[in-house]
């Protein structure tokens, strides 16, 4: 296994994070930025695994996850150079090597709705209409440049509002749900 002074190999990292519970650990640590207490980490992982909230996690569920993290999962992630685990203080933190990992939610709103395609299509259609307007091609020659500009602004504005609404709706659904991941490593 890799020591903390060397970069873990791609195989070591993938081996370490192939377990969903360990991916939950990394995701939680990346979201919180600094060191976290093992108890808090265990509660959140137990909540995700049991499809509930932290407040509704039973003592047995918490204890089971706590023990497994302490005995198996955190040492494996530490050996892969992904995190530091201070068992004496029950603190867990990511290492600099963890910044090479990009855990993306598989249900990321940027991949679930192709908003970029819609914006590109709107821009392309606007360019075609603008060119037709400039060339005086009927029926576009019947509108003024100002009317065209207002229509483009309104169309992009309404689309952006829809995008914002969709993103907020997705975030509300995803806030307490267990994350499902796609893992990418920056080389």
Higher-scoring residue by pLDDT: 32, 123: 123
Residue 166 pLDDT level (bands cut at 50, 70, 90) = confident
With residues binned 3-state (H G I as helix, E B as strand, rest as coil), the percentages for the chain, rounded to 5, are 65, 10, 25
What is the structure's pLDDT at 125?
94
Closest CA to 92 of 16, 46, 25: 25
Residues ≥6 apart with Cβ < 8 Å to 19: 73
**Domain edges within the chain:** 10-105, 109-174
Assign a CATH topology to domain 10-105: Arc Repressor Mutant, subunit A (1.10.10)
Which tens digit of pLDDT belongs to each residue from 89-145?
Answer: 999 998 876 655 655 444 444 445 678 888 999 999 999 999 998 898 888 888 888
Among 7-11, 141-145, 175-179, 180-184, the least confident range: 180-184
Q: Which helix (H) or strand (E) holds 183?
A: strand 181-185
């Amino acid at each position: 296994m890799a020591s903390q002074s060397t970069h873990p190999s791609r195989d070591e990292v993938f081996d370490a994070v192939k377990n969903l519970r360990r991916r939950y650990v990394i995701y939680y640590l990346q979201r919180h930025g600094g060191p976290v207490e093992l108890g808090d980490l265990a509660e959140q992982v137990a909540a995700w695994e049991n499809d509930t909230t932290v407040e509704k996690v039973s003592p047995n569920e918490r204890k089971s996850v706590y023990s497994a993290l302490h005995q198996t999962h955190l040492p494996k992630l530490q050996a892969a150079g992904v995190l530091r685990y201070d068992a004496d203080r029950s603190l867990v933190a990511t290492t600099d090597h963890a910044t090479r990992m990009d855990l993306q939610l598989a249900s990321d709103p940027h991949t679930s709705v192709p908003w970029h395609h819609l914006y590109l299509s709107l821009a392309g259609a606007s360019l075609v209409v603008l060119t037709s307007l400039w060339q005086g091609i009927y029926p576009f020659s019947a509108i003024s440049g100002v009317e065209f500009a207002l229509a483009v602004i309104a169309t992009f504005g309404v689309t952006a509002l829809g995008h914002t609404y969709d993103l907020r709706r997705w975030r509300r659904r995803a806030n307490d749900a267990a994350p499902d991941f796609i893992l990418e490593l920056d080389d």
